[in-house]
Structure 1
Amino acid sequence: MPLSEQEQRLLDEMERHLYRSDADFVSKVSAGAGKPSYRGIALGSLIAVVGAIGLVLGVVIQQPIVGLLGFAIMLTGVLVATKPTRAPLEQPRPRQAAPAGQKSSRLMDRFNDRWDKRQSGDEQ
């Protein structure tokens, strides 16, 4: 079910407010999003294969330390292969001017006003 126009506007305003107020949080959250790096996949796969060979070799020669080292190398390869690249942050759309006669207010102010109205309506 698509969002109504009012919900879409509210969501856009919340997003703009988040970009303005907490850029560090946005950069941390967006850092994990991105496309897979083919170079990273190839390198990680190669490291994982070398680790798997080390793991099997450790079992064959009955040396647990070699097997554990092979497993650690294999795990590192998998992590390298699955790590996405950093995507550039999208810039928020430019803020549109409020229509004439309508007071432009901040998002949190509107939320607080709505909360106050609800609280005063419940007490009556």
Structure 2
Amino acid sequence: MPLSEQEQRLLDEMERHLMQNDADVVSAPAGAQVLSYRNLIIGALVVLAGLGAVIAGIALWRTSLPLGLALGVAGFAAMLGGVILAVTPVKGSAPTPRSTGAGRGPRPARANSSFMDRINERWERRQNGDG
């Protein structure tokens, strides 16, 4: 059974709305910060070096308590610094918002009402026989 013209228009509008929402979901929020790949790699290497220092401090604990303690604390500080470095966003580089509505022309007059509200209104009109 083929769709009527009104049903086809409604389906097309729903598809456009879903495509627009999918693009909004995929694009990053305007206030999001970008992590640096370089900082992630360096941070991971610093964490591994700190872990090695902690293990070396534990190994030296029995032979030289002050040296093992100092090495363990320094290793822990290095691991903490590496994690902080890895998760710190790059300053001055926010993602550029993608234009999803370019070239689509003016918005409908009822742009302030939500998509679902408009669908519900149409459904009620259809059930009442208004067209």
Report the TM-score, using the length of structure 2 for normalisation: 0.47
Larger radius of gyration: 2
Greater helix fraction, Structure 1 or Structure 2: 1
Report the TM-score, using the length of structure 1 for normalisation: 0.49
